[in-house]
Chains A and B, each alone.
Chain A
């Protein structure tokens, strides 16, 4: 349990994924989409003929290609971002998070401290997963505290509203995919809420959905309602953060829309990225003793 109080001192190798999804840069965008979908990653590492990392292809890059009308059999090197950004396995998680924030990237590739060889990848959900595990082991965890009735410790738990991004942008069901792509790009969102004719939440269109649509050959002029995902996964603003994280982890979703009172009134979004940027586990106990919570104002 020593580690439970020392998140600050955790290094990247504790949280990183060891399986790095790579594809040669001369493979097609269609092949890249399949790889991303099958392995459930948000990006893949493009490598050259000698298998050396040369770039990163994210779902954002794929959406850009779709928007630009690039043929799906174009090579990945046309759309990859170079060079890939690396951190070291021995770096602290704090340093890595800071590097991700300042470089405005959602993942870092991890190099061995000595050899410099590729040993893993670090993305926000991996950090949330690690925090979740530590919270679970913590003697102050809600699960452990519930065994002691009359405890007021619940007051200290993080609620979804404290870490969510306030305000929800949405588009109507008859909007075109092009319109959604423009909005996602402008707001730097991963997904867009889609509403019905009465303005009620009807579905979600994510960059993953768009990558699949591109692969399936649908024109960007198609209406959103043809391809949006339903239902809208949502939670209450006063739900415990750990419950929301658990739901996202189990359901393989990256974000929950947040409602207050009426389930049709959405007031914000909580993503795994928000949870990771919070740099804390599930309770305020960590704020003072472990890692400072970023200002979300």
Chain B
């Protein structure tokens, strides 16, 4: 059992709706990291029927926060960085999760072999894979869990 996606997936994971304001999503990142005892860098986005519609990752949020003309900033002096971070924060208010999430997400079935999961993560540069059965998400495989699982198996 442990050598498939279902064997190492986590079934307790947070989700977001596309309509959720981004500011709420950021709060969920912080809360979930505390609750689940692990730093979360990506949250699954589903519609109201629990169907996967995307993934909101740290990278999506950082991309949006990156100043548009950053290449010119090097020439500037006396930048008020604190003020600029506040300004970037206020720009997030009008944004919803669905506006900046990554809509195309790679998934695996529950019976996919552990090494296939590993291969997909390496080739596609992803750190988490939703496990989907009958179009519903039943779990998530995190790269850290996969790694820890392999370490334990090798140590045995």
Hey, which bits of chain A sit against chain B, CB under 8 A? 31, 33-34, 37-40, 125, 129, 132-133, 136-137, 143, 209, 212, 215-216, 227, 229, 246, 249-252
Contacts and interface: CB of A to CB of B under 8 A. Distances in A.
9 contacts: A34-B99, A34-B101, A39-B63, A129-B69, A136-B75, A143-B77, A250-B69, A250-B73, A250-B84
A251 B98 CA distance: 24
B68 A252 contact: yes
Given A137-B75, A250-B67, A37 B100 contact: yes
B87 A251 contact: yes
Interface of B: 19, 60, 63-64, 66-69, 71-77, 79, 84, 87, 91, 94-96, 98-101, 103
A37 B75 contact: no
Given A136-B75, A252-B91, A34 B98 contact: yes
A125 B71 CA distance: 11
B104 to A, nearest CB: 9
Closest 10 CB pairs of A and B: A129-B72, A136-B75, A40-B68, A249-B69, A38-B100, A133-B75, A252-B68, A37-B99, A38-B63, A249-B72
B124 to A, nearest CB: 18
Contacts of B68: 40, 125, 252
Contacts of A40: 64, 66, 68
B99 A33 contact: yes
B99 A212 contact: yes
Contacts of A129: 69, 71-72
A204 to B, nearest CB: 12
Contacts of B77: 143
A31 B53 CA distance: 12
A51 B76 CA distance: 37
A251 B67 CA distance: 8
B144 to A, nearest CB: 26
Contacts of B69: 125, 129, 249-250, 252
Given A136-B75, A249-B72, A249-B76, 4 more contacts: A34-B99, A133-B72, A137-B75, A246-B76
A39 B63 CA distance: 7
Nearest to B72: A129
A212 B92 CA distance: 12
Given A216-B96, A252-B67, A252-B91, A34 B75 contact: no
Nearest to B54: A34
A38 B99 contact: yes
Contact of A37 (B19, B71, B95): B95
